[in-house]
Amino acid sequence: MSLTDPHTFAGAYALDALDAEERAAFEVHLDACPDCRLEVAEFAATAGRLALAVGITPPPALKDSVLRQISNVRQEPPRTGRDPQVERSSGRSLLWMRRWMLAACFVAAALGGVATWQHQEAQDAQQQADQAQASAEQVAAVLGASDAKTHATSLPDGARGIVVASKRQNRAVFTASGLSTPPEGKVYELWFDDHGTMRPAGLLDPDRNNQITLMDGTVDQASGVGITVEPAGGSKTPTLPPVGLIEFPA
């Protein structure tokens, strides 16, 4: 199959919106087009940043928690030698004032906690966004490298794995599309095959079927890339045979 204008398929490819024939044809074009490799990386990075653009709201149970604490705090009126009627009236006023002040303190404390929580959440989100941006720039550098080479392999259940490696950048990018969910408590782990010695190169997100990731470590003298299923957290050496193996041409 030939694509009418393959340059217009980068976005659809990044979002895994091409059928099998279109994907195969575009990958042939991708191997020879650094502009499209860069565009695919930018689309993938943008999708990742959009996923971080979420609103932060207080926990739903916050209001109930504040009101419950107010109702459980016992308050006593002051004991004085004044007229009992006046004392009862003053006591009630003071009681409600104290309850109001107590409520205000609880609300202030709760809102202060929410503000701290929101600030921490915002900091975490910003840190994730910065990391995603740095990773996206590295991915783009590899995909846009003039010496980048594309290597593809079939994975279980019709999935597809692609490695783009650049000796000049000394890094590699792995892209998976249609990846099946690993068994419970397992993850996919990437490896650099250093002529028979497998070197850990990062874990894939078990909850994502389509993803693009900068592999950990450098390409160096790697002769290929392997993908295995490992226990959650990964392994130092493969525990099972590879479900996918990509060999780099000599």
Map out the domains of the chain as residue ranges.
Answer: 1-53, 62-140, 145-250
Confidence of residue 138 (pLDDT cuts 50, 70, 90): confident
Q: What is the topology classification, in CATH, of domain 1-53?
A: Arc Repressor Mutant, subunit A (1.10.10)
Per-residue confidence (pLDDT) for residue 1, from 0 to 100: 47
Query: Taking 90 as the threshold, does the pLDDT of residue 232 lie above it?
Result: yes
What is the pLDDT averaged over residues 152-168?
Answer: 87
Per-residue confidence (pLDDT) for residue 53, from 0 to 100: 47
Asked whether the CA dihedral 97, 102, 103, 109 is positive or negative, the reply is positive
Label residue 3 left, alpha or beta by phi (over 0 means left) and psi (-120 to 50 means alpha).
beta
- The two beta strands, 197-203 and 159-166, are unpaired
Whole-model pTM above 0.85? no
More confident site: 53 or 232 = 232
The 10 Å Cβ neighbour count of residue 67 is 13
Q: What DSSP line would sit under 53-82, residue for residue?
A: -------TTHHHHHHHHHHH----PPP-SS
Per-residue confidence (pLDDT) for residue 86, from 0 to 100: 45
Q: What mean pLDDT, rounded, does the chain reach?
A: 75
Q: Which residues have CB under 8 Å from 48's CB, separation 6+?
A: 132, 136
The answer to whether 64 and 47 are in contact (CB under 8 A) is no
Asked whether the CA dihedral 24, 247, 150, 205 is positive or negative, the reply is positive
Give start and end residues of each alpha helix (H) in 73-217. 84-143
More confident site: 122 or 32 = 32
Phi and psi, residue 178, nearest 5°? 70, 25
